[in-house]
Amino acid sequence: MLLRSRLLKPAAALLLAAVTNAAAAAETTAAAQLEHWNAQASTPGQAARGQAFFTSRHGGEWSCASCHGTPPVREGRHATTGKSISPLAPAFNPRGFNDSARSDKWFRRNCKDVLNRECSPGEKADVLAYLLQLKP
Amino acid sequence: MPPIKHTHPAPARAGLLLAITLALAGPAVADDDGRSMPRQVPKAYTSECGSCHLAFPPGALPAASWKHIMAGLDKHYGSNVSLDDATTRQLDSWLQAHAGTWKRVGETPAQDRITRSAWFQRKHRQVRDAVWAHASVKSPANCGACHPGAERGDFDDDHLKIPPGLPLHLRWAWFD
């Protein structure tokens, strides 16, 4: 019993540390963000609608795919500067959509580039539904 | 025999003084050549500015250019890249503190673009338009296409690489 508790305590401490670290690094997931936007949208996100939205231009010069690629499972490149951009689909990028403040910021910034306005919760839900079904 | 006086003749004294001055000024000059990155780079500079383009060394533009740029983030070369007030202030003061003061950054380039500076154009005068337009380069702002150390502020001519896929007839600028 004594031996067991001696072994178990450090193991439990390690596990706790690992969980805490993971929580600090990744505050959310793409699936959780889809839920979040679904709750504010009139209909739940649809992958097919998201794909059409992602690959189309919306009056401006760029679509989402102009920088992120189609499908966005590899490194993208900024349409003007050529700077490489990490793969957008969460299954291909461990940091993809794991920080809600960062995701919100990029939605805000990039939607203005593509649509000249912010995206609606429904549009964000569609795009997330599309990105989430892209698997290796 | 008269005692040896340990004083230097005037020219030698001036030379020594000059050597000491240069030694003291050395690190400051190296830091101020405009191309290396300052030792302390705010995280927000890398994450906000460096996501869409290279986190350019602040010394590549004069203070006045950085002022214009930071005052117009809502119209940043065709994009609205506004930041919250605290981040804007933080980056603005860091850029002002590290802006270029070296001789080549004497005037504000057109549109506050590094690539429109006289020194940049002179340095790249042998690079043909077809090189900038090549798929693996895309833009003169894509420093890393040819300068693999660009992220660290290493733009040394001896560390150049040839962008992948560049046809032979466009490569001669690299060997000149």
Q: In Å, how far is A96's CA from the nearest CA of chain B? A: 14
Q: Do B142 and A83 touch (CB under 8 A)?
A: yes
- Chain centre to alpha carbon of residue A130: 11
Which chain B residues have any C-beta within 8 angstroms of a chain A C-beta? 51-54, 77-81, 137-139, 141-142, 144-145
* pLDDT, averaged across chain B: 84
- pLDDT at residue B35 greater than cutoff 80: no
What is the structure's pLDDT at A128? Answer: 98
More confident residue, A93 or B16: A93
Q: Most A CBs within 10 Å: which of B51, B81, B113, as the mutation test of the A interface? A: B51
* pLDDT, averaged across chain A: 87
Chain B residues touching residue A82 (CB < 8 angstroms) = 137-139, 141-142, 145
What is the structure's pLDDT at A6? Answer: 52
> A57-64: which pairs have CB atoms within 8 A and are 24 or more residues apart?
A57/A114, A58/A114, A58/A115, A58/A116, A59/A115, A59/A116, A60/A113, A60/A114, A60/A115, A60/A116, A62/A113, A62/A114, A63/A114, A64/A110, A64/A114, A64/A127
B134-152 pLDDT tens trace? 999 989 999 999 999 999 9
Q: Do B52 and A82 touch (CB under 8 A)?
A: no
More confident residue, A6 or A49: A49
Amino acid at A15: L
What is the structure's pLDDT at A73? Answer: 98
Closest residue in A to B136 (Cα–Cα): A82
What is the structure's pLDDT at A25? Answer: 58
Q: In Å, how far is A84's CA from the nearest CA of chain B? A: 8
Angle between helices A100-115 and A30-40 (to 10 degrees): 60
Q: In Å, how far is A87's CA from the nearest CA of chain B? A: 13
What is the structure's pLDDT at A66? Answer: 97
Closest residue in A to B53 (Cα–Cα): A83
pLDDT band at A4 (very low <50, low <70, confident <90, very high): low
Q: Where are the beta strands (DSSP E) in B90-157?
A: none
Q: Is the peptide bond before A71 cis (omega within 30 degrees of 0)?
A: yes
- pLDDT at residue A30 greater than cutoff 50: yes
The pLDDT > 90 percentage for chain A reads: 79
Q: In Å, how far is B104's CA from the nearest CA of chain A? A: 24
What is the structure's pLDDT at B27? Answer: 38
User: Token pair for residue B12?
Assistant: 């030698």
Burial of B62 (0-12, 13-18, 19+ CB in 10 A): buried
What is the structure's pLDDT at A81? Answer: 92
What is the structure's pLDDT at B149? Answer: 94
Please give the average per-residue pLDDT across B36-48, as a whole number. 94
Q: Tell me the ipTM for this assembly.
A: 0.72
Chain B residues touching residue A77 (CB < 8 angstroms) = 138
- pLDDT at residue B1 greater than cutoff 90: no
Q: Which residue has the tokens 């609205």?
A: B80
What is the structure's pLDDT at B4? Answer: 52
- Cα–Cα dist A84/A78, whole Å: 6
What is the structure's pLDDT at A75? Answer: 95
What is the structure's pLDDT at A18? Answer: 46
Map out the domains of chain B as residue ranges: 40-112, 124-176
What is the structure's pLDDT at B36? Answer: 84
Chain B residues touching residue A80 (CB < 8 angstroms) = 77-78, 138-139, 141
- Cα–Cα dist B92/A79, whole Å: 26
3-state secondary structure of B116: helix
Q: Where are the beta strands (DSSP E) in chain A?
A: 76-77, 84-85
Q: Do A113 and B54 touch (CB under 8 A)?
A: no
Chain A residues touching residue B145 (CB < 8 angstroms) = 82
- pLDDT at residue B169 greater than cutoff 80: yes
3-state secondary structure of B76: strand
More confident residue, B109 or B1: B109
3-state secondary structure of B4: coil
Residue B141 has its nearest CB partner, among A77, A81, A112, at A81
Q: Do A82 and B145 touch (CB under 8 A)?
A: yes
Q: Which CATH architecture has domain A29-132?
A: Orthogonal Bundle (1.10)
- pLDDT at residue B160 greater than cutoff 80: yes
B100-122 pLDDT tens trace? 988 778 889 999 999 999 999 99
- pLDDT at residue A65 greater than cutoff 60: yes
pLDDT band at B175 (very low <50, low <70, confident <90, very high): confident
Which chain A residues have any C-beta within 8 angstroms of a chain B C-beta? 77-78, 80-83, 85, 109, 112-113
